[in-house]
Each structure stands twice: as structure tokens, then as C-alpha cells.
Amino acid sequence: MKIKVSLAKKLKKRPKDESKLGFGDIFTDHMFAMDYAVGKGWTNPRIVPYRPLRIDPAAMVLHYGQEVFEGLKAYRGKDSGIYLFRARDNFVRLNRSAARLCMPEVEIEVAMDALKKLVLLDKKWVPRTQGTSLYIRPNMIAVEPHLGVRPAKTYLFYIIVGPVGAYYKEGLNPVRIYVEDNYVRAALGGLGNAKTLANYAASLLAAEEAKQKGFTQVLWLDAVQRKFVEEVGTMNMFFVIGDEVITAPLGGTILPGITRDSVIRMVKDWGMKVSERFLSIEEVIASAQDGRLKEAFGTGTAAVISPVGQIAYKGRDYVVAGGKMGDLSQKLYNEIVGIQYAEKPDPYGWREKIG
């Protein structure tokens, strides 16, 4: 498919001070879009100036929530080159999410081509300061104007990109997390393993209440017993208990994170024991109390590794790893970031230089 390019007539001002970049507020000059209709497939792939969408007020996404998205980054290497990290895996996951929401799949090669052309066209926007990157947000929505619950017949797929700084205000300092034993994020058989808007809408109230109590993140427990740890808002969770590195299994209620997968591969290669198993919050607390809980950290594209310094459960606070970033967290962060920014060798073939 040939992508038609219409250039922006007037370019926006790019942020001058990269150290002040936040997350998710600034977007570049262009965006990619294409349309889908049942019977026709995907048509009209185009790069156009970044601008508001025109959709019908009856567009089905606005009423019944058919939407799936992805989040990945382009990195500016030391050599000034521009790199992607496991980008194909994001589109594979997008298609899995889409299937769960009765939405059409995109062709991976078409999506990759679109992504690369867009990033390279707006390449000046890929920031240079350490820790910054160009965040990439592919999104698919149901646009058919129709009231009545069924899968839509028309969709829009688009990609927007924008420069971002460090995800957490605290930087790499350990965060405080609140174990949520009231609200749930996702139940087995639901949408928990799809990257779709409903999961985030479901999480907002718990996150707001936790924030008021001074916590950065909510740690979700399983929806049935409120017993087993699942994941935090936008990150998978790992716990290092004794010499075992533990993360929740991909049973359907958690998002199959690409960073999670990278961490499992690396930690196994380093000869450590990795278990994808159910882990009860009682075991986490007991091991925090008797000193066997060495580290806890979240994993996700935005933050890469986010160490946890404190866990609050049922009104009590438990300190993890002395409230400091653990050795494994630090090593994983260094290795993954080193691969992403082309500062270290990439034995896994995860990095792709695109320009």
C-alpha cells in the first residue's frame, strides 16, 4: 500500500528545553491514518498534518468503546541514529487486542512502514537528551455512526507521536504503591489482556483515591479472591523473593507486556530463576517482613523499570529493599536502556535502526 503524504504548511514550534519535557502533552507536525470498511479492507493510507479528527457524534467508539491502542517509543542513539525497540511485537499485540474487541487486524508490514515513514518525516522531534524519546501511540477506533450494540462496520487506524521526558516525576527513585483490595481492574474472561480503553476507565477511581493518600500507583489483586498480585496501572510487576524472580502468569487478566517479556528473557539468561506464577499478597508481605523480599519493580515501555520502595496493604506500610533501587532493577534498567539507545550490544535482535 502506497502512503500518500500531505505535508503541514506551517510547522509547530518544537520544545527548546528537553529537560522540561513531560509525558503525553506535545505532538509533532504529522500523523498517519487509514480507513477500514467491512468488505473493502484498509484503504487510503495517508500521512497528514496533525489535526483534530472529524467523527460523527454517533461514532460507535464513543458509545460502546470499541478501541484498541499501543504504546512504544523511538530513541535517538548516541550516533544520532533513530531506533525502534521490538516495534513489530506491539502490532502483533494490537491485533490480538483488536480480535478480542471484534475489530479488524492491521497488516504488520503496513503498520511498520507507516510508523517508520511518520517517525522519519518528523525526525527532528526525536529528542536528544538522555532519557527522552519520541512516544508513539497507534490507535484504532470504531467510527461507524450507529446506535445499537454490535461490532462496527467502519474503523479508523491512526498513529500520533510526540517527544517525552522521564515518565515518573520521581525519576528512577522508588515509588510507593497501594495494594487495592476493593476495586478490581479485570476479571478472567474480560478485557484484562487487551490494551483497550475500558481497562483504564475502570482503573481511574482507584488511582485517584490512592493518589489522595500519597501513592503513585495501584497494585491490582485478582478479581475473585483479592489475593494474588496482578499488575499496576500501566506496568507488569516483578518481585524478587530470595533467589526467585516472580511475575504473574499471563492468564488473561493482565496485559502481556513487551518489557515484561524482555525482562524474563534477560533474567533467565543471567542464570536466575524466573517464575511466572500466582503470588499471594500475603507471601509478598511476609517476605517483606522477614527480609526475603529483595526487590519489587514494575516494567513497561514508559518507565522501563520502576522500582518500588514501599507497599501499603490494609493500612500498613512495608518498606522494600530499604526504599532504594535494587541491584537487579538497576542492572535491567541499564541493559534495556543500553539496547534501546544503541549504547550496548543487542544480542536479542530487539533494536531496529530506521534512520
Residues that bind ligand PLP (CB under 6 A): 71, 195, 231, 234-236, 255, 257-260, 299-301
Of 135 and 313, CB closest to ligand PLP: 135
Of 66 and 236, CB closest to ligand PLP: 236
Q: Which is nearest to 303 in space by CA: 237, 256, 351, 349?
A: 237
Least distance CB 147 / ligand PLP (angstroms)? 29
Contact (CB, 8 A) for 74 and 126: yes
Least distance CB 11 / ligand PLP (angstroms)? 30
| Distance separating alpha carbons of residues 235 and 233, to the nearest angstrom | 6
Least distance CB 231 / ligand PLP (angstroms)? 5
Q: Compute CA distances 192 → 87, 202, 223, 239, 303, whole Å.
A: 21, 11, 11, 21, 20
What residues pair up with 220 in beta bridges, in sequence order? 180
Q: Compute CA distances 101 → 20, 21, 68, whole Å.
A: 37, 34, 8
Of 15 and 300, CB closest to ligand PLP: 300
Least distance CB 90 / ligand PLP (angstroms)? 7
Q: Which is nearest to 33 in space by CA: 172, 198, 158?
A: 158
Least distance CB 146 / ligand PLP (angstroms)? 28
Of 242 and 338, CB closest to ligand PLP: 338
Least distance CB 255 / ligand PLP (angstroms)? 4
Of 77 and 256, CB closest to ligand PLP: 256
Least distance CB 306 / ligand PLP (angstroms)? 11
Contact (CB, 8 A) for 155 and 44: no
Q: Compute CA distances 107 → 88, 156, 193, 202, whole Å.
A: 11, 14, 21, 30
Q: How many CB atoms lie within 10 A of CB 136?
A: 21
Of 15 and 233, CB closest to ligand PLP: 233
Cα–chain center distance at 104: 21
Of 15 and 298, CB closest to ligand PLP: 298
Least distance CB 262 / ligand PLP (angstroms)? 8
What does the DSSP 8-state code read for residue 306?
Answer: E
Of 59 and 237, CB closest to ligand PLP: 237
Helix H or strand E encompassing 212: helix 197-212
Helix H or strand E encompassing 210: helix 197-212
